[in-house]
Every structure is written in C-alpha cells, then in structure tokens.
Structure 1
Amino acid sequence: MSNHDETAKVWELIDRIGFCMLATQNGRDIRSRPMSAYTKKDENAIYFLTDVASHKDEEISRWPNVCLAFADTKGQKYVSVSGTAQVSNDRELIREIWSTPAKAWWDSPDDPSIRILKVEPASAEYWDSPGTVISYIKMAAAAVSSSKPDMGDNEKVNL
C-alpha cells in the first residue's frame, strides 16, 4: 500500500469509528476520556467539542501532545493517533460541528462554556482485521498448524 493509501485508510477508519479515548497528560499522570470526533482531513485536523470547566484546556496548554485511541471492537478495527492539541473559542466552528451527541452536554451551540479542541495528527497506527469471527477462525487454524495467523493490516503512517 502506498503512503497515500495508508493515510486515506487512517482517515477512513477515524471517520467510521467516530468516537475515541483522548489521552492527555496531567503532571506525571496520563488521563483518558471518551470524545466524539469531527474530522477535517483537508485541514489535517480532528476536532472535538469540550467544556471550559473540564480542565482539558489547562492540561493541553502545558502538555500539548495527545493520543487518540479509536476502537471498533466488533469489526476489529483500531487506530491510535499521536498529535498536538490546542483549545480555542471559535464560535463559528462550534456551530458548524454541533451535532446530536453535543446535546447531551449543552443546550445549544451558543453555550458560552463550549470550546473547540483541535488535534493536528502527526502520526497514526492502525489495525484492520477481517472481523471477530474470521479472526478467531484464523487464530484457531494457526494454533493447530503452529503458524502465525494473518490478522489483517497493521501500518504506521506519518500524517
């Protein structure tokens, strides 16, 4: 697969999975929390809506390197994205990416506590296997034959 194809595969998986665990640094600790992603591949950016009271902005201002872990366990598809993050109060972008999941946290996109969290990916690694049932069959066949199973694609990609 070419680098262009691998990059496209990363963005396709991120879009398909949609939710991730965002890992930030908090001093010596690493903290993860679930987030709903909004991608803009042409900007090499993954956006999230966040709340000013959540302390992510403080963590990111001190330690901007983050990791996003996307997982589709049923489909056996995973993506880990490493990049840098920044928080902004871009009200136009907040209104643009406002969607149904955001209504669980805020009444409207005009809530003054909403912020944009932008992650600019630097690299990613993905795992794309044929699915749970087929993976189990391949693992069982490999165990019987003492061979390594073909579990699908695993690539590291610079974005």
Structure 2
Amino acid sequence: MANGRINRPAGRNSNTSKQEVVIRTDRPIVVDATNHIAGRLASNVAKLLMQGHRVSVVNCEKIMMSGTRSNQIKEQREFLEINSIINYKHGPVHYRRPDTLMAKMIRQMLPYDRKPSGKEAHQRLRTYIGSPQEIKSLEKIQFEKALIRKTASNYTALGELCRIIGWTE
C-alpha cells in the first residue's frame, strides 16, 4: 500500500485488461455460403453477430450438410412428423426454405431466448437465396475453416434437401 492506494495485479476485473476493439460500419459483412458446412458457418456467423456486426449470408441453397444423403433426408422427415396433439400452432415451425433454415440454425447458436443481446444480434442477420442485386457489388468473404474438405459428392446441398422436404421455388 503506497500513498493510500492498494496495488492490485491486472486481472479479470481490472480496467487495464485487454479489450477487443470492434469497428462497426453501416455496410454489412457479406458471407458467400457456397460450399460451406452448415454448422461451422452458423457458428462463425453467430460470433460476428454477437460482436455487433451486420451480416448477410448469400447463396444459402448451396450450403452443404455433412452426413449421408439418405440420413439427412430421414432426419428431416422425422422432424416434420413432430407436432402438437392439441393444436398445430403449438408445435415447432417446420421451415422448408434454405434461407429460413439457415437463419434458424444461426438463431440456435445465439442466446436468443436468454438475453436481449441475442435478439438484437439476430435482428442484424439477413439470409438470402442466391445473391440480391443490392449485395452483388459488395465484397464477399468465406470462412476457410468452414469450407468442405472432401469432394462435394460426400455432402448434401441444403437446396436439394429442402426440395425433397417440400420447398417449392
């Protein structure tokens, strides 16, 4: 104790701890989802959203689902059978479009029901089938760790899976 002050080491509660500087702009971060694995892409996008960025995901129909094609179709069809006995409105909503399926995957990786910051982060997300005209001119990024590593024949495209479960373009 010198001059009436307590010397504390810099730790978790100290003001001198390292803080990440995030630069926010009005332009969204545009992610080209072609040949990305769905779960890995969703976790990376969720991290960007929680940091306060606006994120737009384009080409959602070209996202790849890992696992065999027959197993993916079987899982989706089993999910479609889940419903409420009392009223269908009480059961889970069964999305069939690739962009809404991807938005739901990302939402499940955010603290959507637990914290207001999760809801705010989800509001900064936009998902698209294809690439809309206003986003075509912006620079698109890809996550190297989320890209597929094997040939595309080992994966199932989300657009193809959605057509099987009832998506009509």
Q: Give the TM interval when normalised to the shorter protein.
A: under 0.3
Q: Larger strand proportion, structure 1 or 2?
A: 1
TM norm structure 2: 0.23
Report which structure shows greater RCO (CA 8 Å, sep ≥6).
2
Give the number of the structure whose alpha-carbon radius of gyration is greater: 2
